[in-house]
């Protein structure tokens, strides 16, 4: 699994992807794998009132990747060991389970439970 952003023919990069580029309206056709890139923490927070199945506390960060001169932001959980400040460098780390599938209100098979967290570099 990759952390995939998308690029339109005009070079604009977005995450998550959209059918049409939010900047120019062109179709987003190129995939950009961010899973081996590093990003800078823009802001972060610690959530103590989490949804069912999400760990407490749940630290989240908005991070910004630089991709060939274009910046793109993503939001995600921080790893348990990660303490960050604004401006810190982080990298995506694959997690097989971001939340407990047995605690959700939907059928387990109807969702994906894996994804990426961010850890300090």
Residue 58: CB atoms within 10 Å: 17
Q: Does residue 48 belong to any structural domain of this protein?
A: yes
Q: Does residue 10 belong to any structural domain of this protein?
A: no
Q: Which domain holds residue 49?
A: 37-120
Burial of 119 (0-12, 13-18, 19+ CB in 10 A): middle
Count of domains for the chain: 1
- In tens digits, the chain (121 residues) has pLDDT values of 789 999 999 999 999 989 999 999 999 989 999 999 999 999 999 999 888 888 888 899 999 999 988 999 999 999 988 789 999 999 999 998 887 777 766 676 766 678 999 999 9
pTM: 0.86
Q: Does residue 71 belong to any structural domain of this protein?
A: yes
Q: Does residue 28 belong to any structural domain of this protein?
A: no
Nearest to 52, CA basis, from 106, 12, 13: 106
Q: Does residue 11 belong to any structural domain of this protein?
A: no
């Amino acid at each position: 699994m990759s952390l995939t952003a998308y690029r339109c023919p005009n070079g604009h990069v977005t995450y998550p992807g959209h059918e049409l580029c939010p900047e120019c309206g062109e179709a987003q056709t190129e995939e950009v794998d961010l899973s081996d890139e590093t990003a800078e923490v823009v802001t972060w927070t610690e959530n103590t009132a989490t949804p069912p199945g999400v760990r407490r506390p749940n630290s989240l960060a908005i991070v910004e990747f630089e991709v060939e001169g274009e910046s793109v932001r993503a939001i995600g959980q921080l790893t348990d060991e990660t303490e960050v400040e604004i401006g810190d460098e982080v990298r995506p780390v694959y997690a097989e389970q971001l939340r407990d599938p047995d605690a959700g209100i939907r059928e387990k098979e109807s969702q994906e439970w894996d994804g990426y967290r961010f850890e300090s570099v």
